[in-house]
Structures are given as structure tokens and as C-alpha cells.
Structure 1
């Protein structure tokens, strides 16, 4: 199991393999995971560029929103962008 896959599902979270099968097709699993978790003030440009071409971007974003992921780029959005999206949906 790749390090990024473990990061995506988080420690202690057990999910049905079918439900998380999208993660195996995620482009981020084939790239440097550090670009998806930049330090505060760091650039998110490279990670977002990868997300734009990813076939499972929607599933990734849905997962992040459902699991209240607070760090990193998920589905092409930063934490701040996801927070805004959740707020506007309410």
C-alpha cells in the first residue's frame, strides 16, 4: 500500500475497498505527495494542475468533504476553498 493511499484514508479509518477504489486510479498516487500537503503559505499550483487532469477528482472532493479533511489539496481544492464550498452549500 502506498504512503499516499495511507494518507488519503487516514489512520484508523476502515473503508470498504469498493468505496475507496477510486484512490487507486488517482493521479496523486503516482506523484509526489508532498505537493498535495504544502506548508502554510506554500504553493498549491502543482497539485491543482495534477487534479485538473485526474479522472477521480469528483470522488476525491466528495471524500474530503464527507470526512472533513482539513489539510491538503483534495479534488483540486485547498482547505480554505473546501470550507467556502461547504459554507455556500448550507
Structure 2
């Protein structure tokens, strides 16, 4: 007897996704990855009114999408956002370590 597949057959409905409600579903995908500044500006205007913009941006940041406009931000804007978040987290860790050192020094004294 053949072993059943662990993957669902294509005939089953796919679970709902944030992409189903995206404002960009009717727009050609290549325009989102165009180096042309006018295309990027056009796509960002579509993103402004998109109801799933936060989900789209979360996807791009989580999966480190390197190219294209995602969640209304282009590659450079997403990289800046990630870099700033990384710096803020590092600053927070540094402050926490200093606080712990001071607490240890006070307890030892």
C-alpha cells in the first residue's frame, strides 16, 4: 500500500492570506521590481491605500526581501528601517548590561 502524502492535494482550498486582500493584486508584478523611479513612485501610491500594507511590510522584513517595493517601502527604505532597529536593539542591550554591572557592583560592595 502506498504511503499517503503529507502534502495537501491541489484540489483543497488554500488558507486565506494577506495577499488575497492586497490592493496590488491586479497590477503587473514586474512594476514592483522596476529600477525606474516613476514606477516606484506609482507603486507606492497604490500601497498608501492598501489595507494589508503592515502585513506586506512585515513579510518583507521577516523574509528579508532584497528587491522591490513591499509595504510601501523600497529596498533602501527597508534597509534603513532594519539598520535603525538593529542599532536600537544593540543600544538597549548595552544599557541593560551596564545596569546589570552596576547592580552587581552594588551587591558586591
User: Which position in structure 1 is the counterpart of 2:107?
Assistant: none
TM-score (norm 1): 0.73
Give the Cα separation in 2 of the matches to 1:23 and 1:32: 14
Q: Deviations over 1:34-69 (max 9, x none)?
A: 221103xx1210100000010000000000000000
Of 19, 22, 26, 1:26 maps to: 22
TM-score (norm 2): 0.61
Question: Higher helix fraction: Structure 1 or Structure 2?
Answer: 2
Q: Are 2:81 and 1:58 aligned? A: no
- Larger Cα-atom Rg: 2
Residues matched between the structures, number:
71
Structure 1, unaligned runs of 5 or more: 1-15
Ranges of 4+ aligned residues in structure 1 off by more than 3 Å: none
User: Which position in structure 1 is the counterpart of 2:33?
Assistant: 37
Q: Are 2:66 and 1:49 aligned? A: no
